Amino acid sequence: MKLFSFERRWILTVFDATFSGGVATLPWKASEMRTTQAFVTDVFRVGPPITMLGMRAAIWLVYLFTPLLAYALPVPLGMLSEERRSSALEKLSMSNIYALRELPTLFKMMGSMAYCASAEVQRAVGIERPDFRVPNWVEETERHG
Amino acid sequence: MAEPKRIPDGMQVFSMVSGQARIEDEADFVIIGSGAGGATAARVLTDAGHSVILVEEGPYVPVKERGYDVWTGFRSSWRDCGFQVAEGRLFLPIIQGMGVGGTTTMNGAICHRMKPELHAEWVRDHKLPENLSFEEFSRIYDRVDQELQIAPAPEEVLGRHNTLLRDGLEAIGFSHNPIRRNVVGCQGSSRCIQGCPTAAKQSMDQTYLPFSLRKGARLYAECRVSKIVRVNGRAGLVEAQFVSSPDRLKGPKATFRARRAVLLAASAIQTPLLLAASGIGKESGLVGQRFQCHPGISLLGEFEEPVRMWESVTQGYESTHLWTDRLKFETVSIPLDNAAARFDGYGRKLMENVERVGHLACWGVHVRSEAHGRVYRDFTGRTRIKYDMTDGDVVRLKRGLKLMAKMLFAAGAKSVSPGVHGLPKRMDHPDQMEALDQLDNSPNRYHGIASHMFGTAVMGADRKQSVVGFDGQVHEMPGLYVLDSSAFPTNLGVNPQNSIIAWSWLCTEKLA
Ligand SMILES: Cc1cc2nc3c(=O)[nH]c(=O)nc-3n(C[C@H](O)[C@H](O)[C@H](O)COP(=O)(O)OP(=O)(O)OC[C@H]3O[C@@H](n4cnc5c(N)ncnc54)[C@H](O)[C@@H]3O)c2cc1C
Ligand code: SF4
């Protein structure tokens, strides 16, 4: 399954709101990282189609409606300041409605497989892997798109 | 440019057959699934001189292709890339391996024997006969201990993550022990769920499968079985198709003819689906019913001292002190790229937690739950698992969580993140966990997983009350045997791979 480029941008915005935030040892922006970009392509290519369809619907919901659900603001997530995007996701994750609070958690789970898999993040938190190599799927995705 | 992978002699994978119109093969026994149950059957039968074909849906992943990151493992050898869930009030991830070696390649290498009390329960409630006595199981456990070199995790590789649990258990007065594991030269790299990078884990792909291949077995990987067909009233033919991993390209169709028997060991989720697709289940109505598992949840504790989970055996310490109360505690070292999903917060708050990962411990409790679920294919052909914990199961989980918080604080944790909806994100004192009692028993307050499955084709003497006999043979199809935990009458309360191995061994040695 291939995402439209705007859907790709949306998911990267959600990853940024989840995994960036001015912590000195972790200065990288999720959307600019090699692993994150490759992951978004790869997961939709090889993931189970029906789950990925659900994931696609989840991107629309989270991107378009999180500000509305969190702050009663009828604007998409990208229109909020970076800090407010994170707190909007946090607020949604505390919803009393299970299906709603699971949405940001889903992206946190996906984002962690991408962002936290990168050598720079792991090294920054003290995980030294002398034989660390770039995952095969990153190179594969970069070769084939 | 990636090197082409070296495929062991006797194994065929998608890329080797994709140009062919059809694959046909014949042997004494055709085994479906190459995990704990299937590989054991191959080991026993090839050792006795029989010809064997193994058919495995998942790919062959050589040791040197196993990555550091979890997604490399998920996309290559986890069913549905790790996205399989059971549906109920809670969406409970049901995790399974899918590849040569089955789930044994990415499991924690924990080796448990069935508890004698459980066996007694099976004798009492399910009329287990003499040929499945506890002594018979023990005879196989002893043998497997030797062959898979099962021993307690040694002190040198436990790392602080595991010894902290020991401290916590000791402090609250629970019995405890280092986990008995099937490893040789484990370096405590904490990468069991990605697949052991040094082949230290004695999973089936490193042990019984190479043994069987050396003895002449033929293994077809990336080959999905769709149906078992009768020939002269007995299971005689297995229909399959090659499907590439992870791209799902369709390859040639295949038929495998079994002269003696077809042995089904596709796991407690896929086995009932194959039985149903082969027209079995009408007599008892029990195929895919009575699904059980061990729902588990974890608790994160933050310590002042460095814990460095990644420098320890993935699962090295445990307590079965409360086994009779249906609870088991164990360490679960999860890689950062999986664990971060469990950390609190978004943005800056989350990143601060990621920064502190070196000080976190992650311990899990699993419940021998009472709930029963159901596994079936819906009209679109999709696998569905329906499952909901009972109130009693949730009450036990709460008790387990409270005890685990006590252990964490007793071991020196300065805070605990319960990850429970309705509780504070961080707690600084074990008494704060008492607030759990004020919450309702809704399972979706928790983030659980289940990786041990049982009961979807139960054994028994009465064909109206069970799917297979005490020899594993399917009542409705002579010549077809179920060699995995689908046949178990209930869940075990301990990690199941050894008991699956023992069950498969006991059934196949009679066929050998
Ligand atoms: C993360 C994790 C950690 C675990 N840790 C432990 C542990 O430490 N100790 C322990 O005792 N247990 C552990 N378990 C559970 C244990 O590994 C499994 O219970 C055990 O491997 C199941 O054995 P099995 O033979 O029934 O199935 P599997 O080992 O899962 O093998 C079944 C095989 O059949 C194949 N198959 C399925 N359908 C088809 C089809 N249609 N056609 C062809 N092939 C098919 C599958 O691809 C799979 O490879 C763990 C499980 C997980 C997920
Ligand atoms: S802890 Fe590491 S070395 Fe030991 S068995 Fe697991 S993956 Fe292999």
Tell me which of B74, B354, B421 to substitute to probe the interface with A (most A C-beta atoms closer than 10 Å): B354
- Give per-10-residue mean pLDDT for chain B (512 aa): 74 95 97 98 98 98 91 95 96 97 97 97 95 96 98 97 98 98 96 94 98 98 98 97 96 98 98 98 96 97 96 97 98 94 93 95 97 97 96 97 97 96 93 93 95 98 97 98 98 98 98 95
CB contact under 8 A, B346 and A117: no
DSSP letter (8 states) at residue B242: E
Phi, psi dihedral angles at B178 (to 5 degrees):
-70, 145
Q: Which of B72, B73, B79 is nearest to B94 (CA)?
A: B79
| Residue B29 token pair | 């026994």
Q: Report yes or no: B367 and B294 within 8 Å, Cβ to Cβ.
A: yes
Ligand 2 site-directed mutation target among B156, B181, B189, most atoms within 8 Å of CB: B189
Long-range pairs, A55-58, Cβ under 8 A, ≥24: A55/A106, A55/A110, A56/A1, A56/A3, A56/A7, A58/A103, A58/A106, A58/A107
CA nearest neighbour of B333 among B354, B344, B346, B317: B317
Q: Which of B67, B91, B347 sits opposite A21 (nearest CB)?
A: B347
DSSP letters along B125-144, please? HH---GGG-HHHHHHHHHHH
- Comparing CA positions, the residue from B196, B74, B144 lying closest to residue B500 is B144
Q: Look-up: residue for tokens 């790299």?
A: B189
Environment class of A22 (CB within 10 Å of its CB; exposed 0-12, middle 13-18, buried 19+) = exposed
What would the two tokens of residue B153 be? 């995790």
Nearest to A113 among B2, B247, B337 (CB): B337
Find the closest chain B residue to A132 by CA distance: B68
Tell me the C-alpha distance between B258 and B265, whole Å: 15
Strand partners, B264: B32, B482
The answer, for B120 touching chain A at a CB cutoff of 8 Å, is no
pLDDT at residue B4, as a whole number = 56
Give the separation between CA B477 and CA B342, rounded to whole angstroms: 46
Whether ipTM tops 0.90, in short, is: yes
- Which of B66, B309, B313, B332 most suits a substitution to test ligand 2, by most atoms within 8 Å of the C-beta? B313
How many other CB atoms are found less than 10 A from the CB of residue B3? 8
Q: Torsions phi, psi of B177, nearest 5?
A: -160, 155
Tokens 């291939």 belong to which residue?
A2
Burial B480-494 (b: 16+ CB within 10 A, else e): bbbbbbbbbbbbbbb
- Closest-CA residue to B74 (of B337, B373, B449): B337
Residue A58 belongs to what domain range? 5-144
Give the ligand 1 atom nearest the CA of B204: 29
pTM to 2 decimals? 0.97
Positive or negative: CA dihedral B257, B261, B264, B265: negative
Which residues line the pocket of ligand 2, CB cutoff 6 A?
A: B 109, 183, 186-192, 196, 198, 200-201, 313-314
Mark yes or no for CB contact B71/A90 under 8 Å. Answer: no
What distance in Å separates the CA atoms of residue B150 and residue B197, rounded to the nearest whole number?
19
Ligand lying closest to the C-alpha of residue B78:
1
**Atom 4 of ligand 2, nearest CA residue:** B186
Q: Where are the alpha helices (DSSP H) in chain A?
A: 5-19, 34-46, 49-71, 82-92, 98-115, 119-124, 136-144
Find the angle CA(B166)-CA(B343)-CA(A78) to the nearest 5 degrees: 175
Domain count for chain A: 1
The DSSP element (H or E) to which B225 belongs, if any, is: strand B223-231
Q: Phi first, then psi: what are they for B343, rounded to 5°? A: -75, 150
Distance of CA B147 to the CA centre of its chain: 20
* Ligand with the closest atom to the CA of B153: 2
* The one-letter amino acid at B422: G
| Structure tokens that stand for A89 in this block | 């996701």
Query: What confidence tier does A129 reach under pLDDT thresholds 50, 70, 90?
Result: confident
Best A20, A90, A116, A125 member to test B by mutation, with max B CBs in 10 Å, is A116
| Cross-chain residue pair A47–B83, CB shorter than 8 Å | yes
Q: Which residues contact B40 (CB under 8 A, 6 or more apart)?
A: B204, B208, B483, B500, B501, B504, B505, B508
- The span from the CA of B374 to the CA of B173, in Å, is 38
Q: How confident is the model at residue A24 (pLDDT cuts 50, 70, 90)?
A: confident
Q: Which two tokens stand for residue A110?
A: 């996906």
Strand partners, B374: B386
The Cα–Cα gap between B133 and B139 comes to 10
CB count in 10 Å sphere of residue B319:
24
**Using the beta-carbon criterion (under 8 Å), do A23 and B339 form an inter-chain contact?**
no
pLDDT level of residue A143 (50, 70, 90 thresholds):
confident
Residue of A nearest to B70 (CA): A113
Amino acid A131: pLDDT: 73
Q: Is the pLDDT of residue A132 over 90?
A: no
Handedness of CA B427, B428, B431, B432 (dihedral sign): negative
B334-376 pLDDT, tens digit each:
999 999 999 999 999 999 999 999 999 999 999 999 999 999 9
Q: Residue B202 C-alpha to ligand 2 middle, in angstroms?
A: 10
Residue pair A35/A98 in contact (Cβ under 8 Å)? The answer is: no
Q: What are the φ/ψ torsions at residue B228 (nearest 5 degrees)?
A: -115, 130
Helix (H, G, I), strand (E, B) or coil at B102: helix
Output the pLDDT for position B399. 97
What DSSP line would sit under B416-453, residue for residue? EE---TTS-S-BSSGGGGGGGGGS---GGGS--BB--E
pLDDT per residue as tens digits for the range A69-86: 999 999 999 999 999 999
Environment class of A61 (CB within 10 Å of its CB; exposed 0-12, middle 13-18, buried 19+): middle
